[in-house]
Amino acid sequence: MKDALRVLLIGSAGRMGQAIVEAAKGDSGIDIIGLVDQGDPLEPAISPCEVAIDFSHAEAMAEISRAAVEHSKALVIGTTGQTPEQDAIIKECAKTIPIVKASNFSVGVNALFWLTEKAAQLVGPDFDLEIVEMHHRMKKDAPSGTAMTLLEILQRQRKIEKATHGRQGNVGERPSGEIGVHAIRGGDVVGDHTVIFAGAGERLELTHRAASRTTFAKGALRAASWIIAQPPGLYSMQDVLGLSRAE
């Protein structure tokens, strides 16, 4: 019988950390051998694990990535809101260790990413593009990491750089060369994301609504099980699910 995967969970006291702990209880292939949160020492905890899962804070990204490289550990990053400098550190570390970095580990959301790319290709440039996301009132970053991934997909497909984050005042007519992004906060909403393709006489909307963090937690554990067999590199959840190879 194959031994359970030894996992270090960083950010264990947060909402996602707690969800991962619960999800792991029902997975015989996962053994969470260490829990680290803000203020806890990382070095002694990372040594005995095979893979570290991080859902902490972007500010800790440099320390976590470098510790994973020093101890030759695979890494799953679910923390969002990194600066370009922090992203550069992750990319550099991925030359030495395998890393999965994802703004969302849900299978459904990653299907949304794939469908958004295909829809942008199909409807063409005459459709206006808008992204709307809603999360619980405690979420600190805006727009969400998932919304930013959707934005990047649309920008890549349309070759558009401009993003308008909300609108206020007399902004004039909407130019065709922009993508609108809108963040809503309230209540205990786990995460809703909608991509709107608005054309003349018709509108296409792609929506994903998350009712529980369990789906994200299971996805992160799936990524951890997948990444340990991969060579060094920076991977996405699309790679984990095989969607990057889908036509």
Q: What is the pLDDT of residues 179-224, one digit of tens each?
A: 999 999 999 999 999 999 999 999 999 999 999 889 999 999 999 9
**Domains annotated on the chain, with CATH:** 5-105+213-245 (3.40.50.720), 107-210 (3.30.360.10)
Q: In angstroms, how far is the first alpha carbon of the chain from the final one?
A: 36
Report in angstroms the alpha-carbon separations of 44 from 10, 68, 160, 202.
13, 12, 46, 57
* φ, ψ for residue 218, nearest 5 deg: -65, -35
* φ, ψ for residue 30, nearest 5 deg: -120, 135
In sign, the C-alpha dihedral spanning 157, 158, 161, 164 is negative
Contacts of 214 (CB under 8 A, 6+ apart): 19, 22, 23
> d(Cα 204, Cα 218) in Å, to the nearest integer?
30
* Joined tokens for residue 231: 């060579």
Q: Taking the model in full, what pTM does it have?
A: 0.79
Whether pLDDT at 245 is above 80: no
Span 106-118, mean pLDDT?
93
Span 48-55, mean pLDDT?
96
Give the residue among 88, 48, 110 at the shortest CA–CA distance from 237: 110
Tell me the pLDDT of the chain averaged across its residues: 93
Q: Which pLDDT score is estimated for 74? A: 98
Q: Which pLDDT score is estimated for 103? A: 84
- Catalytic machinery residues: 135, 139
Q: What is the pLDDT of residues 174-186, one digit of tens each?
A: 988 899 999 999 9
Is residue 196 classed as helix, strand or coil in its secondary structure? strand
Q: Is the preceding peptide bond at 143 cis, omega within 30 degrees of 0?
A: yes
